[in-house]
Amino acid sequence: MTAAPDKLVVEDLSKRFESGDDGGAVVALAGAGLRVAPGEFVSIVGPSGCGKSTLFNIVAGLIRPTAGRVLLDGEEPRELLGRVGYMPQKDLLMPWRSVLDNVTLGLEMSGVGRRQARARAREELGRFGLEGFERRWPGDLSGGMRQRAALLRTFLAGRELMLLDEPFGALDALTRQAMQEWLLEIWQSDRKTILFITHDVEEAVYLSDRVYVMSGRPGSVQLCVEIDLPRPRGFELHGSPQFVALKQRLLTPLHEAARAQLEAQVVS
Ligand SMILES: Nc1ncnc2c1ncn2[C@@H]1O[C@H](COP(=O)(O)OP(=O)(O)OP(=O)(O)O)[C@@H](O)[C@H]1O
Ligand SMILES: [Mg+2]
């Protein structure tokens, strides 16, 4: 029997933007590669500006790479757009649509009728901690609830692979921890495949099966660490020697990459 192909393979991906921040060209990615097996939770950490969101935009089909390729289920799709679930770095809830109409947006855009989309969303509101808030505006929600609403919208789109770009980045530490535990429960019951960007090494270790560390810009993958901690994972894991050792293995190269990138920026 042959093993199932990886859900996602990113091969030697490069991206050059012809007009960057200061008008000159910016090489955002240079030969980045990674893989995610079906059902895995994989994270990417890397210094700010190293090309993480650019990599997601390419995998989601929003922009084209300058070189390299993206395989889904072992094949290179002619069109990536619409093939993966994507929660961008900014939650992008629309302030003029109710919570319910925000979370159904992805379904409606993929052609599901409004009534059916609403029925699907209502089934999930409880699990996403939004029961009773469906008629409220996004501005009425707490930071954690907004993120759960944006996650629900991504989940409802029904794709097997989901790209989550720093979903908890703006939350306070306590809310963040609660959200991590909640996300693991959702992931474990739904068996989705998740590729997750974070700046937070503890978050990456706590959640993931594997963590990729990217170099400073132009971003490539400089290290891959398997997180062989048992599941299900609970908060107490943070204090275990294994957890602390894994965190340290990631922190050292990340720290060096961030410093090297800063030095390059200061010199240029
Ligand atoms: N559409 C674009 N046009 C020009 N330059 C861009 C574009 N998108 C991103 N860049 C540049 O590419 C580089 C990588 O940006 P990207 O947003 O991918 O970084 P990131 O790793 O996600 O950073 P952060 O951790 O701060 O979110 C940056 O220098 C950014 O200015
Ligand atoms: Mg980003």
- The answer, yes or no, to whether any atom of ligand 1 lies below 6 A from the CB of 20, is yes
Q: What pLDDT score does 20 carry?
A: 63
- Looking at ligand 1, which atom is closest to the CA of residue 21? 31
Please name which of 165, 196, 163, 183 lies closest in space to residue 81, comparing C-alpha atoms: 163
The pairing of beta strand 26-36 with beta strand 8-17: antiparallel
Domain of residue 101 covers 93-158
Does 194 reside within a domain?
no
Amino acid at 227: I
For residues 111 and 107, what is the distance between their CA atoms, to the nearest angstrom?
Answer: 7
Does 187 reside within a domain?
no
Handedness of CA 76, 77, 79, 81 (dihedral sign): negative
- Mean pLDDT score, 11-17: 97
- Looking at ligand 1, which atom is closest to the CA of residue 57? 18
Does 198 reside within a domain?
no
- The answer, yes or no, to whether any atom of ligand 1 lies below 6 A from the CB of 26, is yes
Cα of 205 vs its chain's centroid, Å: 14
> How many angstroms does the Cα of residue 80 sit away from the middle of ligand 1?
20
Amino acid at 203: E
**Comparing 118 with 158, which gets the higher pLDDT?**
118
Does 225 reside within a domain?
no
For residues 177 and 91, what is the distance between their CA atoms, to the nearest angstrom?
Answer: 19
With 0-12 / 13-18 / 19 or more C-beta atoms within 10 angstroms meaning exposed / middle / buried, residue 263 is exposed
- Looking at ligand 1, which atom is closest to the CA of residue 214? 21
Does 217 reside within a domain?
no
- The answer, yes or no, to whether any atom of ligand 1 lies below 6 A from the CB of 48, is yes
Q: What pLDDT score does 268 carry?
A: 61
- Mean pLDDT score, 157-164: 92
Mean pLDDT over all residues of the chain? 93
Does 143 reside within a domain?
yes
User: Domain total for the chain?
Assistant: 1
In the numeric block, which tokens belong to residue 135? 């008629």
* Angle 50-241-196 from CA coordinates, rounded to 5°: 30
Count other C-beta atoms under 10 Å from residue 220's C-beta: 19
Residue nearest to atom 18 of ligand 1 (CA): 51
Residue nearest to atom 28 of ligand 1 (CA): 49
- The answer, yes or no, to whether any atom of ligand 1 lies below 6 A from the CB of 51, is yes
Does 165 reside within a domain?
no
Cα of 211 vs its chain's centroid, Å: 12
Q: Indicate the range of 144-158, 184-198, 251-265 predicted with least confidence.
A: 251-265
Does 139 reside within a domain?
yes
Ligand 1 binding pocket mutation candidate from 52, 90, 197, 222 (most atoms within 8 A of CB):
52
Q: What pLDDT score does 205 carry?
A: 98
In the numeric block, which tokens belong to residue 83? 């093939």
- The answer, yes or no, to whether any atom of ligand 1 lies below 6 A from the CB of 200, is no
- Looking at ligand 1, which atom is closest to the CA of residue 47? 25
Q: pLDDT at residue 127 above 80?
A: yes
